[in-house]
Structures are given as C-alpha cells and as structure tokens.
Amino acid sequence: MPSVPTSPTAASSARRRVLVMLEAYATTFLVTIHYERSNVSRMTEAVGIRSRVLTANGLRMNLVETGEGAPVLFLHGFPQSSRAWAPVMASLAERHHAIAPDLRGAGATDAPRGGYDSATIQADVLALLDELGLAQVDLVAHDWGALVGFDLCLNHPERIRRYVAIAVPAPYIRMSRALMAGMLKAMPHLWFQYVVATPGLGPALLSRGRQRLAHWLLRAFEVRPMNDDDVAAYVSTLRDPARAKAASRLYRKLILPGFMKIMGGAYRGRVLHTPTLVLFGADDALLPKDALAISPDDAPHTRVEFVPGGAHFVVDDNPDEVARRIRAFLE
C-alpha cells in the first residue's frame, strides 16, 4: 500500500503530542522514585521502618509499617501522605503494629483516573486489610481520610475496633445560630477547596511553576512550622500531573460532597457504635467548639478533645500530645 503523505504541520503536531506524553511519563517516574526514597529516609530516621508495595483492589499501594502488637491503621489527609504519621508511629511502635498506606492518588501509590469517591477508597482500605490478613484494626485518620474513616465505621463496623478521627467532626452536625455564624466566618478561608476542585485550573495551580498553592495549603494552617523536608516531599509529589488531577478529583468526588452530606443531615439516624475519639487542634478556628458536641443518641461511645498547640495539621504541630492521647485511648 502506498504511503499517505503527511503534512509538516501534522507531523509537528504529532511530535509535540508524543513529547508531552513522554514528559508526563518521565515526571511520574521521577516523582515516584524521589518520593519513595525521601519517604523511606524520613521514616527510617524516626523509627525502624519497613516499606513495601501491595496490590489491593487492583491498586498498586505503597505502605510503611513498624512495631509489633495490635494493628493500627493510619489514613492521611490532603496534601499529605503516609510520612505524616512518622512521629506518631514511632511513639506507638513498642506495643502496636503501626501501618500507614499512601492512599489512592497520593505518595507513591498509583494515581488512576477514577475511584476518588468514598466507596472506592473504602474498598481500597478493606482490600489492603485483606492482603495483610487483618480481620480488625484500630483506625486513626486525619482530614479527608477521617471522612472515609467514619464511613468505614458505619458501613463495616466489624473491621474497626476503635477509631480516632483528627480535624474532622463526627458526621452529626446540626445547624445552629452559632454554627451558621462560624461557617460564614470560615468561608473566606475555604476558597481553595473550590479552586482545587475545578478541572484544569486546580491541577495546573497545584503542579506547575513555583507551586505556590501547594505550598500555601501546607503553610497557611500550621501553628508550628512543618518539617521542610516533609513539605518538599508533598509538593514534589504534586508536580506529577496525574497526582495533581487526582487531588482535584478527590475534592470533587469526596471532600466537598462529603461535607455537604454532613451538613445536609445524611448521617442522621445511623448510629455510630464504634468507640471513637475525635481530636481537634485547640487553635483550629474553622468551626466553633460548641458546634462540635455530639449527642449520645448519634454516637454513644464518642468523645471530643482539643489538643493544645495545634490547628488543622495538629499531628505536625504537636505530635507528642497527639500520640499520647491516641495511646491512652487505644490502650
């Protein structure tokens, strides 16, 4: 068959597409390798860490673990990864088998195009527990990981013995005058959620140039300056376009809808029986403290505590006190 002539313009366009694809693949590879090396180094310095990769729910999932004893699973938030738990894992390692995965789209775990809803991520976590041969665990979760944690407790209570939720309220908030005033005060500080969620715009701002948005997300809510190496690791991971897009999808499919479900009363009538400790940084001003109270009718075995010297990233702000309260609750 005779060849079909190709115009110079078409050939040039094809070459550009190939180069863009190669650049994306190279960025993903280099970011993953850098993250894996820096994460293991950081965790090894904190406590003798074991790192491995498992396939769970069809997802290549990176995890770190340490210690022996009763299993405790740690779920991170955005824009962090398993490395956020290093000091807490070190504190619990003497009596517990501490396990921290990089969740879908984060750290060195795969970042597929889909699956950034609570049901799929719950399936990821349950499949991971099955791969590890763990019928039941204690669960500690922060930020959007804590949203998934509440869903796990309600949907699969047989898998979670005790639960510690950090920086996210139990899903039984009821509207009040004080809460409305607090929400109106907080709204100007939450503009970034809708920016990150916007297709195209969110991933571009997270991954390109000097990545000012990614840096701001980590630095704007700290009480004690976050470890510079940790910040660099989290930001460099978002340099990968696939992971920046994953973050945007996470906001669209899980974080924003999750909070809308809570505010809309979707969880009312579903009693949380899992013994639960909800920790907030005492300096976290997003919601008024009175609005975080929980009725025993909704969650009879749940209590709320406020950790001094911490805000949203309270695990980074005051890791020793967070670890102490987790230990006391679990033991």
pLDDT score of 287? 77
Tokens of 57: 């729910």
Q: Is 148 exposed, middle or buried (0-12, 13-18, 19+ CB in 10 A)?
A: buried
pLDDT score of 25? 40
pLDDT score of 8? 45
pLDDT score of 43? 52
Per-residue pLDDT of the chain (331 residues; tens, 9 = 90+): 333 344 444 445 544 543 434 344 443 434 444 445 444 445 545 457 899 999 999 999 999 999 999 999 999 999 999 999 999 999 999 999 999 999 999 999 999 999 999 999 999 999 999 999 999 999 999 999 999 999 999 999 999 999 999 999 999 988 777 777 777 777 777 899 999 999 999 999 999 999 999 999 999 999 999 999 999 999 999 999 999 999 999 999 999 999 999 988 999 999 999 999 999 999 997 777 877 889 999 999 999 999 999 999 999 999 999 999 999 999 8
Tokens of 186: 């907080």
Tally Cβ neighbours within 10 Å of residue 169: 20
Q: How far apart (Å, rounded) are the C-alpha atoms in residues 63 and 104?
A: 11
CB 129 within 8 A of CB 61: no
Note the residue count of the chain: 331
pLDDT score of 186? 72
pLDDT score of 288? 77
- Choose among 322, 327, 292: nearest CA to 309: 322
- Whether domain 11-330 has CATH 3.40.50.1820: the reply is yes
Q: How far apart (Å, rounded) are the C-alpha atoms in residues 244 and 241?
A: 5
Domain residue limits, the chain: 11-330
CB 280 within 8 A of CB 255: no
CB 254 within 8 A of CB 141: no
> What are the Cα distances from residue 131, in Å, to 55, 121, 127, 135, 324?
8, 15, 6, 10, 29
pLDDT score of 210? 96
- Choose among 143, 138, 125, 110: nearest CA to 254: 143
CB 182 within 8 A of CB 291: yes
3-class secondary structure per residue, the chain = CCCCCCCHHHHHHHHHHHHHHHHHHHHHHHHHHHHHHHHHHHHHHHCCCEEEEEEECCEEEEEEEECCCEEEEEECCCCCCHHHHHHHHHHHCCCEEEEEECCCCCCCCCCCCCCCCHHHHHHHHHHHHHHHCCCCEEEEEECHHHHHHHHHHHHCHHHEEEEEEECCCCCCCCCCHHHHHHHHHHHHHHHHHHHHHCCCHHHHHHHCCCCHHHHHHHHCCCCCCCCHHHHHHHHHHCCCHHHHHHHHHHHHHHHHHHHHHHHCCCCCCCCCCCCEEEEEECCCCCCCHHHHCCCCCCCCCEEEEEECCCCCCHHHHCHHHHHHHHHHHHC
